[in-house]
Amino acid sequence: MTKTKRAAAGGLLMLSCYFVSLTGFLSGGGGKNTKLSRRRKLDRKKDIYQLASPDGHFRRQPSTFRSTISRAPNAPFPPEKDRYVLYLTTGCPWAHRTNIVRTLKGLEPIIQLVLLDPRLGPDGWRFSGEHGSAPQDPLYGFTYLRELYEKAEPGYVGRYTVPVLWDRKRETIVSNESAEIIRFLDTEFEAVVAPGDAVGYSLYPERLRAEIDEMNAWVYDRVNNGVYKAGFAATQEAYEENVYPLFEALDRIEAHLGSEEYHGPYLFGEQITEADVRLFTTIVRFDVAYYAIFRCSLKMIRHDYPRIHRWLRTLYWDESERTAGGAFRKTTDFDALKLSYSYTQQKQLGNSNTIISAGPYPHILPL
């Protein structure tokens, strides 16, 4: 079996779900029962909830599987119906963005969706049959996501993250990089989607690409990843170095939405773009999770950022053809995401119980 290509230095920003990004998961040596593999498993269970580096800073690690689906002749991963499976947990914002694009682009009948338990256990993401997850992996009967990684690459040593886009034919991972997955879901499946199933626009229009790329870069660093750099900081210095730039970036977005050049309702005018998708999955979690759990508590979206708040609600409550009948709302699971963040926080604190915050109420206000 051909191994999935690994990422080279550079390229798109490496985005995958934070829970496993810094745990340094080590496989069990391809299943061999050695002292080293047993020690690695013990280390993995001990360290899975330790998310900061020794200096107290959170640093996201690169994704490892970086192939792409392409319409190009003789491409190893061509767009086909019923060939690919998208694995994710609804608590994860990086995985959430792939599910939004899957829905916007009419790929629900084309790409199978498999949900994992939103709680990160000592052995990583798992199938439990609880909280909307599958009882087991429908393809191979696996219990843990790590088993899928090890099937793709026996002896795999690395991180077991979501999202995962799996190829049934080659029995391997195409990609676990959300930024790249949403790009090729947007562009490569038009020929296999039934007429009328997808929104009739590109999320990455050529005329806006430079501006989208520029916004994606600083939004990723200061906002998407910024909430984690603040939330997982292990020292006061690391926290303060990241929480203030986060809110400066939110101030910048608020000003952008009020600029004369972009009249809204979206980040770049009348058309939803990739930039909206990437920002949405962070902002929709902000008041209900990041504000309290991640100590991102200088301001709230609903009270302090009126333009961002309207932008958020416009996307969430829209059930028109523009959002393929509600792609943003249908893919947002507030109960699962609050459980995910609360569970991990309690494990970091050494608590055996998971206490989930009651507020804010409602999770999102009406438009």
Active site residues: 92
Q: Look at residue 6 and give its three-state secondary structure.
A: strand
pLDDT for res 57? 75
| Four-way CATH pick for 206-348: 3.90.1170.50, 3.40.50.10140, 3.40.50.300, 1.20.1050.10 | 1.20.1050.10
Architecture of domain 18-192: 3-Layer(aba) Sandwich (3.40)
Does this model's pTM top 0.85? yes
Residue 9 has pLDDT above 70, yes or no: no
Domain residues of the chain, as ranges?
18-192, 206-348
Average pLDDT of the residues of the chain: 87
Residue range 209-247, pLDDT digits in tens: 999 999 999 999 999 999 999 999 999 999 999 999 999
Residue range 33-87, pLDDT digits in tens: 333 343 344 345 445 555 666 777 766 666 689 899 999 999 999 999 999 999 9
Averaged pLDDT, 311-319: 99
Residue range 91-105, pLDDT digits in tens: 999 999 999 999 999
Q: What percent of the chain has pLDDT over 90?
A: 74
Of the candidates 338, 277, 337, the residue with the CA atom closest to the CA atom of residue 312 = 277
pLDDT for res 11? 33
Averaged pLDDT, 186-190: 97
Same fold: 18-192 with 206-348: no
Averaged pLDDT, 342-365: 84
Averaged pLDDT, 101-115: 98
- pLDDT: is 19 or 155 the higher one? 155
Provide the token pair at 102. Answer: 């899957």
Q: Measured between alpha carbons, how far is 316 from 296 in angstroms, rounded to an integer?
A: 22
Q: Measured between alpha carbons, how far is 175 from 193 in angstroms, rounded to an integer?
A: 21
Residue range 151-178, pLDDT digits in tens: 999 999 888 999 999 999 999 999 999 9
Q: Measured between alpha carbons, how far is 1 from 185 in angstroms, rounded to an integer?
A: 24
Burial of 335 (0-12, 13-18, 19+ CB in 10 A): middle
